[in-house]
């Protein structure tokens, strides 16, 4: 029902409310949240609606859609669907730095958390993240701090870099592309992880 409201409505507030309801339902750790997330992705083609919201929606709609996708990305069984259908759009949304004024910090944090979830287990997902051009953006975001340490987005990007380096099969590809271990594992990223 919420997906059809989201798809058919042209009113931003209605779209945001429908996405927000799905976000709230998928926020828990129980079986109902998991079942709803699976239904959204596997039965209702909800990722296609999410792409539409990310491309055409206003900032509030995008913010809520990214939060919903962050909830959905917690389920490993759905990662292949997310990588195949959504990864290019997620990478496009990543700012080139943590100080970008185009995107609220919480959206950047959620985008990084989606990528963290996708990079936990599958090397091919990390390779896809790199191949879509996310790595320079992630490194730029990770380098920013607020004078007291990394910003929230910077900390999430540091954790993501650490996770990406944990896939030793990709070390040669990283080096071939001009990256060094210090781009992934350094005092800043290690502090964020520990």
Residue 192, pLDDT score: 78
> What mean pLDDT is reported for the chain?
90
Model confidence at 147, pLDDT cuts 50, 70, 90, reads: low
The highest-level CATH class for domain 1-78 is mainly alpha
The rounded distance, in Å, linking the Cα atoms of 15 and 127 is: 33
Q: Residue 62's CB: how many other CB atoms inside 10 A?
A: 21
DSSP state of 42: I
- Taking residues 174-182, what's their average pLDDT? 94
DSSP state of 76: G
Residue ranges of the domains in the chain?
1-78, 86-194
Question: In the structure encoding, which two tokens stand for residue 147, read together?
Answer: 């004078």
Residue 165, pLDDT score: 96
Residue 187, pLDDT score: 80
Share of the chain above pLDDT 70, in %: 94
Q: Do domains 1-78 and 86-194 have the same CATH topology?
A: yes
Q: Under a CB-based contact definition with an 8 Å cutoff, are residues 94 and 134 in contact?
A: yes
Residue 10, pLDDT score: 79
Residue 145, pLDDT score: 73
Model confidence at 66, pLDDT cuts 50, 70, 90, reads: very high
Residue 116, pLDDT score: 98
Q: Under a CB-based contact definition with an 8 Å cutoff, are residues 136 and 77 in contact?
A: no
For 88-110, the pLDDT digits (tens) are: 999 999 998 655 557 889 999 99
Domain 86-194 has CATH 1.25.10.10: yes
Using DSSP's 3-state secondary structure scheme, residue 28 falls into coil
- Taking residues 147-168, what's their average pLDDT? 90
117's CB contacts (< 8 A; 6+ apart) are 70, 73, 74, 79
- Taking residues 6-29, what's their average pLDDT? 88
Model confidence at 60, pLDDT cuts 50, 70, 90, reads: very high
């Amino acid at each position: 029902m919420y997906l059809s409201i989201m798809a058919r409505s042209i009113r931003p507030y209605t779209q945001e409310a429908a996405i927000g309801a799905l976000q709230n339902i998928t926020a828990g750790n129980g079986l109902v949240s998991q079942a709803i997330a699976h239904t959204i992705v596997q039965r209702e083609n909800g990722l296609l609606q999410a792409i539409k919201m990310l491309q055409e929606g206003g900032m509030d709609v995008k913010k809520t859609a990214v939060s919903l996708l962050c909830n959905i990305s917690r389920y490993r069984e759905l990662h292949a669907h997310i990588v195949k259908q959504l990864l290019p759009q997620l990478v496009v949304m990543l700012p080139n730095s943590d100080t970008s004024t185009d995107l609220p910090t919480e959206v950047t944090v959620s985008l990084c958390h989606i990528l963290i979830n996708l990079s936990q287990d599958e090397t091919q997902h990390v390779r896809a993240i790199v191949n879509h051009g996310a790595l320079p953006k992630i490194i730029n975001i990770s380098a920013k701090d607020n004078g007291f340490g990394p910003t929230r987005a910077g900390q999430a990007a540091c954790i993501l870099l650490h996770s990406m380096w944990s896939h030793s099969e990709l070390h040669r590809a990283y080096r071939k592309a001009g990256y060094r271990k210090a781009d992934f594992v350094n005092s800043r990223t290690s502090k964020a992880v520990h």
